[in-house]
Amino acid sequence: MPRTVVFVHAHPDDEALLTSGTMAALAAHGHRVVLVVATAGEAGLAADGLRADLGERRLTELHASADALGVSRVELLGYADSGLAADPTPPPPPGRRPRLADAPVTEVAGRVADLLREERADVVVGYDAQGGYGHPDHVAVHHVAAAAQAMAGTPLLLEATVPRARLLAAARQVNRLLPRSRQVDLTPWTRAYSAAADVTHCIDVRRYARSRRASMRAHASQATADSGARTLGVFTRIPPPLFGAVFGREWYRQPGLTVPRRHRSLFATLPPRELG
Ligand SMILES: [Zn+2]
C-alpha cells in the first residue's frame, strides 16, 4: 500500500546529507515523498561571491536535489536562517518571517500540521533532540516535527539521526584522505546526533548511492566556502566505491522506543491503516 512520508528539514542540503537515500528508496517503491524545508539556508557557509543571492540560489539547488530523489512535493516555510550560535544572523526586517529559532514552535508546527493533514501523512520525519550537530534551526525542527505530529495525529514520528560513533569513524576515514589543511575539525561531532542504543531504525540505501550523490552535487553552493573544507564538498569528492560504504545506511529514532535489533523498514512500527 503506498504511504505518504513528510520529511521536515531546516536548510537546503540537510535532506541530501541525512535522508536522501531513504527518500529515493521510498519514491522508487511508489510511496509519496514530501519535502518541507523551513529556511533558504542563506546564512550558511559559502564563497563570498555567492553571498548576495545565496538564499535564492540554494532554493534552486534544493529543487534540483528533490528532482534527483523523486520527491513529489517541495514546500518552503520561508523562515530566516538563524545561523550558527557563534555567528547568529541579525533579525530580519519587520514584515518578514522571523529566524526559525525565534519563531514560536506552535506557529511553525501549526503550518506543518496543516500540511500533514492535507497530505494524510502516515509518517513525519524530524530531527533528534541534539538537532544533529546542534545548529539552532535543527533543534527547532526537532520540536516542530514532534508538535506537528501531535497536532495532526500523524501515526508515526521518526527522527533522522546518526549513531555518533559511526559518524566519527567515517569522518576520520574521510579526513585521512585529505591534506591536513583541508581536514574537518571533528571535535563538535563527539557530542552530536545519538548514542547507538537510541537508534531504532537502520535503512539500507546502498542501491541509491547514485541518487544520493546527485542530490549532494545539486547543492553546488554548499561546496564553495572560501576557507577550510566544507563537509558536503568533502563528501561529494569521495570516490564511488567508498561513497557506497560511507553512505550506505541512514538512521532514525522513534522517540520512546527501545529495540533489541534495529528495524530495517521505515514502516516497521507503523500501525495498519484504518479502513473507511
Ligand atoms: Zn542544516
pTM of this prediction exceeds 0.75? yes
Structural domain harbouring 123: 4-253
CB 13, CB 74: distance < 8 Å: no
How far, in Å, from the CA of 133 to the mean position of ligand 1? Answer: 9
Q: How far is CA 27 from the centre of its chain?
A: 17
- Residue 23 covered by a domain: yes
- Residue 142 covered by a domain: yes
pLDDT at residue 101, as a whole number: 94
Instruction: Give the DSSP letter of residue 253.
Output: E
Q: How many domains does the chain have?
A: 1
Q: What is the mean pLDDT of the chain?
A: 88
- Residue 261 covered by a domain: no
How far, in Å, from the CA of 38 to the mean position of ligand 1? Answer: 10
CATH of residue 85's domain is 3.40.50.10320
How far, in Å, from the CA of 137 to the mean position of ligand 1? Answer: 7
- Residue 64 covered by a domain: yes
- Residue 122 covered by a domain: yes
How far, in Å, from the CA of 169 to the mean position of ligand 1? Answer: 21
How far, in Å, from the CA of 222 to the mean position of ligand 1? Answer: 11
Read off the amino acid at residue 170.
A
Nearest to 45 by CA among 232, 192, 238: 232
How far, in Å, from the CA of 41 to the mean position of ligand 1? Answer: 7
pLDDT tens-digit profile of 47-60?
Answer: 777 777 888 899 99
- Residue 176 covered by a domain: yes
Beta pairing partners, 36: 8, 75
pLDDT tens-digit profile of 106-157?
Answer: 999 999 999 999 999 999 999 999 998 788 999 999 999 999 999 999 999 9
How far, in Å, from the CA of 274 to the mean position of ligand 1? Answer: 35
- Residue 275 covered by a domain: no
Query: What average pLDDT does range 75-92 have in this prediction?
Result: 83
How far, in Å, from the CA of 203 to the mean position of ligand 1? Answer: 21
How many percent of the chain have pLDDT more than 70?
89
3-state secondary structure of 102: helix
How far, in Å, from the CA of 28 to the mean position of ligand 1? Answer: 25
d(CA 67, CA 35): 11
- Residue 258 covered by a domain: no
How far, in Å, from the CA of 215 to the mean position of ligand 1? Answer: 15
How far, in Å, from the CA of 81 to the mean position of ligand 1? Answer: 9
